[in-house]
Amino acid sequence: MITASGIGHAVVTGVNGAIGRVDAFGGMQGRPDGSKGMNFLLVGTDDRDNLAPDEKKRYHLGGAPCHCTDTIMLVHLSQDRSRASVVSIPRDTYVLLPTGPATPAPKAGTKDGTKDSAKTGAKAASDGKNAEEGAGPTATPTPATKPAKLNQAYALGGPRLTVQTVEQLTGVHVDHYLEVDFTSFMKTVDVIGGVPVCTSRPLKDPFSGLDLPVGTTTLNGGQALQYVRSRHLDPAADLGRMQRQQRFLAQVIHKITSSGTLSDPLRLGRVASTVLGSVRADQALDSQDLIGLGRAMKGFSPGSSEFTSVPLSVTSSNVPGVGSTVKWDALKAGRLWATIRADRPLTAPRPAPGGSSTPAGVQIAVDPAKIRVRVANGTSVGGLAASTQQALRATGFATTGVPATAYRHVPHTVIRYDPRWDDSARALAVALPGAQLVPAAGQGPVMRVTLGPDFAMARVRPVTAPLPDPGAQPAQGALTGDQVGCG
């Protein structure tokens, strides 16, 4: 949640040292290979030690914590920083955990390693077999394991065992680890001014104290915690709770990106100090990573985020000594994690305006709706920027702001772009024949076009979004942030 500005940099640098650090990766071997984009494992714990007695009473938080993970989400930020994919992982997922200290994962790329980890991990989750079985005679001996729920990994081995278990189940390399407890969650919601949630029916849970009427209600930190923790509102229990957590996170993203928080230094400072000073993170997450996240979020719209949950084959399987667990659908879960590793969208491409899913035009590598463009006129031809921006909008680009006049005339049409969005820049260049690509590090996701005399007589070339990968399927039940409605 940090901007690319110097003020944002100063804010992050100032609070970077206040972040609680955990060793989430130390000593782990044979991890899955890294993939395009960046993967965060976001966990919420039930730690409530820092809450005041009156807060515990008011929000029904007086029980003893289990010191386990209440919420587990894998957040994938795409390589071009245009999309955030959030996958909720059921805390009751059936797993096999080591009976001793956390041990290294098998060697990546081997028979018992990364290339089979999504397959074997999901299979272990679905039929209870050890994901390490079948390793060749030269493989490292498999440590003793015991059946458990995924959320117990934190209680037994902390962040490191949690990360290791998720990586073995999914085959996805976790780049960074973020941990939020009850206190930090409540503080974050309060500092952004509360979060609105919408419900199509009254929500009342005597266990959590949640009591919401039909319609939209702006929740403070304590109420928001009740909302995301409630699991006695319907027969779906934890699965229904995961859906509410996704709705809530979609609203948080929308609130932060649409309220001006990322461009207001004072508001940014309050949010950054509160959030970064109350979470725990891996030792490698530094200010530059946070600034990069902020740059990406600044360009987000509600449709830039997408949400889904791991597909299940069994929603209630009683395991002696463990309790009720859920088991993954091995095939569907495998497809889901393969999509994440390949940095592909989880949701299906939307039809173009007017009902046609294949408008006429040159096919480009990036959906033009995800490419933000600002146009300035660098010539003496009146109205050129306005007409060009209108033509770009007509062919699907997300034009921003009003057409401008450049400070000086330019000899050629130029597209200035941040190198991290180079695919988007090349796609835009297809629509502006002859334009020169000029990298501008730190510019952010908006493409800045300055029109030169070479474009005065040219026309915007119509383009169309890329066809979906015929081998790729949208994740079951996946929704974009603007599709997440009332629950």
| pLDDT tens, residue by residue, 358-380 | 445 787 888 888 899 999 999 88
The residue type found at 338 is A
- The pair of three-digit structure tokens given for residue 263, joined into one six-digit string: 């461009």
Whether the pLDDT of residue 161 is over 70: the answer is yes
Q: Considering the chain, tell me which residue range(s) the CATH 3.40.630.190 domain(s) occupy.
A: 6-349+473-483
Whether the pLDDT of residue 107 is over 50: the answer is no
Cβ 69 vs Cβ 24: under 8 Å:
no
Cβ 248 vs Cβ 230: under 8 Å:
no
How far apart CA 154 and CA 397 sit, in angstroms, is 45
Cβ 302 vs Cβ 481: under 8 Å:
yes
- The tokens 């791991």 sit on which residue? 310
- Span of 37-41, 200-204, 252-256 with lowest mean pLDDT: 252-256
- Span of 24-33, 117-126, 305-314, 472-481 with lowest mean pLDDT: 117-126
Q: If you ran DSSP here, which 8-state letter would residue 480 be given?
A: E
CATH of 362-464, one of 3.40.50.11720, 3.40.50.300, 3.30.70.2390, 3.30.1330.10: 3.30.70.2390
Higher per-residue confidence, 422 vs 46 = 422
The predicted model gives 110-124 an average pLDDT of 37
pTM above 0.85, yes or no: no
Q: Considering the chain, tell me which residue range(s) the CATH 3.30.70.2390 domain(s) occupy.
A: 362-464
The fold of the 6-349+473-483 domain, in CATH, is: Aminopeptidase (3.40.630)
Cite the beta strand spans of 329-465 per DSSP E: 362-363, 372-377, 398-399, 404-405, 414-417, 436-439, 447-451, 463-464
Q: Which pLDDT score is estimated for 313?
A: 92
